[in-house]
Amino acid sequence: MPWRDNTEPYYVLVSELMLQQTQVDRVIPKFEQFTGLFPDVQSLAAASLSDVLTAWSGLGYNRRAKFLHAAAKKVVDEHGGVIPDTYEGLVSLPGIGPNTAGAILAYSFNRPVTYIETNIRTVFFHHFFEGQPTVTDKELKEIVTEAVDKEHPREWYWSVMDYGAYLKKQGVGRNDKSSHYKKQAPLKGSLREVRGLILKALAQTDQPYEELKRSLPQDERFETALAALAKEGFVERKGERLHLAE
C-alpha cells in the first residue's frame, strides 16, 4: 500500500478519504493516479474542482473529493501549506472527522491516539463482544484505548487493520452489530448514481440545463439530485447553463 511506504500527512489524508467507502484493491490504482496528478497539497489546492472530480472518477461518493479539495485549499490558505499535526487542527479541515483525524495522527505522526474504523471494529467485536448483539463506539473506544501500543501505534494499527481484513474474509466479527453500522445501498438505480452522472458530465464542460436533463434518466431523480448538488456547493446555474462550482 503506497500510503504505508510513504506516511507523509498528504498521502495519508488522500488515502483515508478514498478508503472511507471503497475497498483497498480499488483504491490503490486510483491513489497512484491521483497523487501522480496532484503530488502534494499545493498542487491539489491549485487544481480546478472539475480536474479533481475527473481524477476521482470511479471511486464514487464524490463529496469526498470536494472535501479533499477544500481541505487542501484551507491548508494552503490558513496553514502555510502544512497539514496540521493536532487533532483540533485536523478536524477544522473540511471532510475530516474524529476518525480520519485519528488515522492521520497515528499513521503520519505515530501518535498513540484512539480511532475506530470498520476493520478495527471487526477485530474487537470478534474478541471482546462476540455474544453482545449491539455495541456502541463509546464501548469500543474504551477497550481500544487500553490496547493501543503506546510505543509503536503506527505499526499496531497497521497490524489490527490487516487482521481485521483477514477476519472479514473468514466471515467473522460482523460489523452490523455496531450501533453505528449503516449498510451501503446499491449504486444502480439510486439517487447517488444520478448525482455521479451529473458531476461526470459537468466535469467535462458546462451544459445547458435542458440538454443535460435529456441525457440522464427521465424521472424525478434528476431534479432531486441536481437540487442536492446545488445546495452542497457542487453545481451552479447561470441562466440556462449548469457548471461546476469552484
Boundaries of every domain in the chain: 2-107, 118-177, 191-244
Predicted local confidence at residue 13, as pLDDT = 97
Q: Which residues contact 103 (CB under 8 A, 6 or more apart)?
A: 12, 16, 115, 117, 157
- Catalytic entry in 16, 78, 88, 155: 16
Q: Is 235 helix (H, G, I), strand (E, B) or coil?
A: strand
Residue % of the chain over a pLDDT of 90:
51
Q: What is the pLDDT of residue 177?
A: 54
Active site residue 88: no
Q: Decide: 116 and 98 in contact? Cβ < 8 Å.
A: no
Number of H helices, E strands in the chain: 14, 3
DSSP-assigned letter for residue 47: S
Output the pLDDT for position 188.
Answer: 67
Residue 184: is its pLDDT beyond 60? Answer: no
pLDDT at 204: 76
Give whichever of 148-157, 162-171, 179-188, 227-236 has the largest mean pLDDT. Answer: 148-157
pLDDT of residue 224: 83
Tell me how far apart the alpha carbons of residues 175 and 31 are, in angstroms, rounded to a whole number. Answer: 26
Residue type, 208: P
CB 107 within 8 A of CB 12: yes
Task: Please report which helix (H) or strand (E) contains residue 238, including its range.
Answer: strand 235-238
**Cα 49-52-56 angle, rounded to 5 deg:** 135
Asked if residue 105 lies in contact with residue 14, where contact means CB atoms within 8 angstroms, the answer is no
Class of domain 2-107: mainly alpha
Rounded CA-CA distance 13/131 in Å is 35
Residues with Cβ < 8 Å from 65, sequence gap 6 or more?
17, 52, 53, 55, 56, 59
What secondary structure letter does DSSP report for 175? G
As a whole-number percent, the residues of the chain with pLDDT over 70 amount to: 93
Looking at residue 176, its pLDDT comes to 59
List the strands of the sheet with 235-238, edge to edge.
Answer: 207-208, 241-244, 235-238
Convert the pLDDT of each residue in 35-54 to its tens digit.
Answer: 999 999 999 999 998 899 88
User: 191-244 in CATH: which number?
Assistant: 1.10.10.10
